């Protein structure tokens, strides 16, 4: 397996295809890959990553769009494999840089992104495609292939140039009995394999899971059974774009004589779109407006909500924190119908614990089969390798362990180890005449969305926030005659999140006074230097006496 150290790529030669994933390597989310050929760019997916606990205040994390910011006029299209946030969520931020880049995707995918773009006041150029369709964008010839996933209308894309043929799967699995009857088109995979796939970019999320991913149909029976035992209200949490899971909830509720109310703006929006387009089959009389749901008996309602990943502002977390109009209580049933995205474990279990303390029964994948993954397990990936016989493989969409597991499957199936590539975001590969070479590693960062700001929050800012959250804050104010070092006012010490009793600082105030006097004797004559003296003195005291590392903010004014 190949990997590479950071280095600038060489100049791209004509007739060579360059592939640069700038998101989705080493993480579950932020999927985005840039293809370049003869001066033209094609982007496949443009998704977001959701923040973890060590990124306080961050709403979303975007791919490093700066990689193509100076090349926007060269972008011919953005191809979207399916409608999940980790593949389409960053599109509005890219189109804000250039709003006439065509979006290419299936009917449902484009409907979901168009609704999102409407909120950003962007009217996109779109091209609707379906499986079997071929399109040409400059030097790129594209073929779209049906793949099965947890959302309808997902597509893999084959990208062909004179340099070779690439197959980019997007997210997929090989469910042989899907709810919508649309299976992954292995015949198309086999046809591509006969032609010769020079580079294969497969979904890696479940590469370390043995066997085959369970069929979606098996979940419907479980949901119906779990609901039948419930005596009071039922709350089901899932992704707001998981159409198949919502379909099963609607069917199970209908079978149990319950009605369903959608909760959460994105859930309402996405399911309305899916129903209008015919992807969601709503049983007659099942849906009810959330405002009227409270009028029904507790044993006749199901709330379908967002928040299955413990997101603090989503419906389920607000219920757990008693910050929602629906007050969860004893006997209510909560079903988390989704997998845990790595990094969200603590947030999810915090919500589960909160709901349990309120008296709810919480059912999740760990104690019942209420969810199956939308991603191919190891057995399915091996089938793909044996059908395609790719010359080279770049596993994508996964954390490091997933990428490595996928590469090992490729090697087991006969792909030479030197033709499998493991890397981080920013890895640069060149393809020519069936040969793939690592030619560089770009320095790719993370772009944080924080409220209305995009890219203004830095790692240093996040470090400060973590310190504030974990260690507290100490401010020290004093007015000093900078020429003599005589303290006119103060020192006044205040803190937040460090100590309730301010008298704890009685021992450090004399140390500050002494340090200021010694600094003056040693020739200190400026405001900034006095501030540094205060910072060092308080920092040393806090570290030795309290074993803490709070944020220390000295404020010295010139008297």
| Better pLDDT: 42 or 514 | 42
Report the predicted TM-score, pTM, of the whole model to 2 decimal places: 0.80
- Please give the Cα distance from 471 to 107 (Å, whole number): 50
What confidence score (pLDDT) does residue 203 get? 96
| Better pLDDT: 486 or 109 | 109
What confidence score (pLDDT) does residue 451 get? 58
Residue in the block written with tokens 């191809």 = 79
- Please give the Cα distance from 172 to 368 (Å, whole number): 23
| Better pLDDT: 33 or 177 | 33
Query: 5 is written with which tokens?
Result: 């150290």
Angle between helices 527-546 and 509-521 in degrees, nearest 10: 140
Residue 380 has pLDDT above 90, yes or no: yes
Measured in whole angstroms, how far is the alpha carbon of residue 381 from the centre of its chain?
23
- Average pLDDT in the 116-135 region? 94
- Average pLDDT in the 137-150 region? 96
Query: In this structure, what DSSP letter does residue 21 have?
Result: E
Query: C-alpha distances in angstroms, 255 versus 116, 284, 298, 454?
Result: 33, 12, 16, 46
What confidence score (pLDDT) does residue 452 get? 56
- Considering 413-417, 492-496, 528-532, 545-549, the range whose residues carry the highest mean pLDDT is 413-417
What is the maximum alpha-carbon separation in the chain?
A: 86
Omega prior to 345 cis, within 30 of 0 = no
Domains of the chain in sequence order: 17-211+373-443 (3.60.15.10), 217-363 (3.40.50.10710), 459-558 (3.10.20.580)
Q: Which pLDDT band holds residue 471 (cuts at 50, 70, 90)?
A: low
Lowest model confidence (mean pLDDT) among 164-168, 244-248, 516-520: 516-520
Residue in 438, 396, 435, 430 with CA at minimum distance from that of residue 416: 435
Residue in the block written with tokens 């070479």 = 437
- pLDDT tens, 414-446? 999 999 999 999 999 999 998 999 999 998 887
- Please give the Cα distance from 76 to 511 (Å, whole number): 65
- Please give the Cα distance from 437 to 415 (Å, whole number): 15
Beta bridge partners of 555: 477
Lowest model confidence (mean pLDDT) among 174-178, 356-360, 398-402, 475-479: 475-479
Residue 322 has pLDDT above 90, yes or no: no
Q: To the nearest whole number, what is the mean pLDDT of the chain?
A: 87
- pLDDT tens, 541-556? 877 777 777 778 888 8
**Residue 62, SS3 per DSSP:** strand
Query: In this structure, what DSSP letter does residue 55 have?
Result: S
What confidence score (pLDDT) does residue 83 get? 94
φ/ψ (deg, to 5) at 190: -65, -40
**Do 389 and 361 contact (CB within 8 A), yes or no?**
no
How many Cβ atoms are within 10 Å of 3's Cβ, its own excluded?
Answer: 12
Lowest model confidence (mean pLDDT) among 198-202, 219-223, 434-438, 445-449: 445-449
What confidence score (pLDDT) does residue 125 get? 96
Query: C-alpha distances in angstroms, 374 versus 3, 37, 80?
Result: 28, 32, 17
**Residue 251, SS3 per DSSP:** helix
**Do 97 and 90 contact (CB within 8 A), yes or no?**
no
What confidence score (pLDDT) does residue 124 get? 94
Residue 534 has pLDDT above 60, yes or no: yes
**Residue 93, SS3 per DSSP:** helix
Residue 465 has pLDDT above 60, yes or no: no
What confidence score (pLDDT) does residue 74 get? 97
Query: 235 is written with which tokens?
Result: 């709350």
What confidence score (pLDDT) does residue 191 get? 96
- Please give the Cα distance from 512 to 533 (Å, whole number): 8
- pLDDT tens, 254-268? 999 999 999 888 899
Query: 353 is written with which tokens?
Result: 């614990």
**Do 360 and 328 contact (CB within 8 A), yes or no?**
yes
Lowest model confidence (mean pLDDT) among 216-220, 453-457, 492-496: 453-457
| Better pLDDT: 144 or 466 | 144
Q: Which pLDDT band holds residue 515 (cuts at 50, 70, 90)?
A: confident
What confidence score (pLDDT) does residue 184 get? 96
Beta bridge partners of 127: 104
Q: Say if strands 333-336 and 361-363 run parallel, antiparallel, or are unpaired.
A: parallel
**Residue 477, SS3 per DSSP:** strand
- pLDDT tens, 73-119? 999 999 999 999 999 999 999 999 999 999 999 999 999 999 999 98
What confidence score (pLDDT) does residue 185 get? 96
**Do 458 and 471 contact (CB within 8 A), yes or no?**
no
* Planar angle of CA 487, 491, 497, nearest 5 degrees: 160
Residue 456 has pLDDT above 60, yes or no: no
Residue in 360, 332, 336 with CA at minimum distance from that of residue 348: 336
What confidence score (pLDDT) does residue 195 get? 95
Residue in 142, 162, 138, 157 with CA at minimum distance from that of residue 73: 138
What confidence score (pLDDT) does residue 538 get? 82
């Amino acid at each position: 397996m190949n990997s590479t150290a950071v280095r600038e790529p060489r100049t791209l030669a004509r007739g060579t295809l360059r592939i640069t994933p700038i998101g989705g390597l080493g993480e579950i989310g932020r999927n985005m890959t840039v293809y370049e050929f003869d001066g033209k760019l094609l982007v496949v997916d443009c998704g977001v990553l959701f923040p973890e606990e060590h990124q306080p205040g961050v709403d979303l994390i975007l791919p490093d769009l700066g990689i193509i910011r100076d090349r926007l006029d060269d972008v011919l299209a953005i191809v979207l494999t399916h409608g999940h946030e980790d593949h389409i969520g960053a599109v509005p931020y890219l189109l804000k840089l250039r709003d006439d880049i065509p979006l290419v995707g299936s009917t449902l995918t484009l409907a979901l992104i168009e609704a999102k773009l409407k909120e950003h006041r962007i009217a996109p150029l779109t091209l609707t495609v379906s499986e079997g369709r071929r399109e040409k964008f400059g030097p790129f010839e594209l073929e779209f292939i049906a793949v099965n996933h947890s959302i309808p209308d997902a597509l893999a894309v084959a990208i062909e140039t004179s340099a070779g043929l690439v197959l980019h799967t997007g997210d997929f699995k090989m469910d042989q009995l899907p709810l919508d009857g649309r299976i992954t088109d292995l015949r198309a995979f086999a046809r591509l394999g006969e032609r010769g796939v020079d580079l294969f970019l497969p979904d890696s999320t479940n590469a370390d899971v043995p066997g085959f991913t369970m069929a979606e149909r098996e979940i419907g029976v479980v949901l119906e059974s779990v609901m039948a035992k419930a005596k009071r209200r039922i709350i089901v949490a899932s992704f707001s774009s998981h159409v198949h899971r919502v379909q099963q909830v609607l069917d199970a509720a209908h079978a149990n004589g319950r009605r369903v109310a959608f909760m959460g703006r994105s859930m309402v929006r996405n399911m309305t779109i899916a129903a209008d387009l015919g992807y969601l089959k709503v049983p007659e009389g099942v849906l009810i407006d959330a405002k009227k749901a409270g009028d029904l008996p507790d044993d006749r309602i199901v709330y379908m909500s967002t928040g299955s990943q413990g997101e603090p502002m989503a419906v389920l977390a607000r219920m757990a924190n008693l910050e929602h109009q629906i007050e969860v209580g004893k006997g209510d049933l909560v079903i988390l119908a989704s997998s845990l995205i790595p990094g969200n474990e603590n947030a999810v279990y915090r919500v589960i614990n909160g709901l349990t303390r309120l008296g709810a029964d919480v059912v999740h994948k760990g104690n019942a089969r209420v969810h199956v993954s939308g991603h191919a397990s190891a057995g399915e990936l091996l089938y793909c390798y044996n059908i395609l016989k790719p010359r080279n493989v770049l596993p994508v969409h996964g954390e490091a362990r997933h990428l490595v597991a996928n590469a090992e499957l490729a090697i087991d199936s006969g792909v030479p180890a030197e033709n499998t590539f493991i890397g981080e975001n920013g890895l640069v590969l060149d393809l020519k005449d069936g040969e793939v070479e690592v030619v560089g590693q770009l320095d790719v960062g993370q772009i944080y969305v924080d409220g209305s700001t995009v890219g203004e929050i830095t790692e240093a800012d996040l470090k400060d926030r973590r310190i504030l959250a974990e260690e507290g804050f100490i401010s020290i104010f004093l007015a000093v005659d900078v020429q003599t070092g005589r303290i006119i006012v103060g020192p006044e010490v205040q803190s937040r999140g460090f100590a309730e009793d301010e008298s704890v600082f009685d021992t450090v105030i004399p140390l500050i006074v002494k340090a200021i006097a010694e600094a003056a004797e040693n020739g200190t004559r400026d405001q900034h230097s006095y501030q540094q003296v205060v910072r060092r003195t308080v920092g040393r005291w806090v570290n030795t006496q309290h074993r803490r590392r709070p944020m220390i903010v000295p404020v010295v004014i010139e008297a």
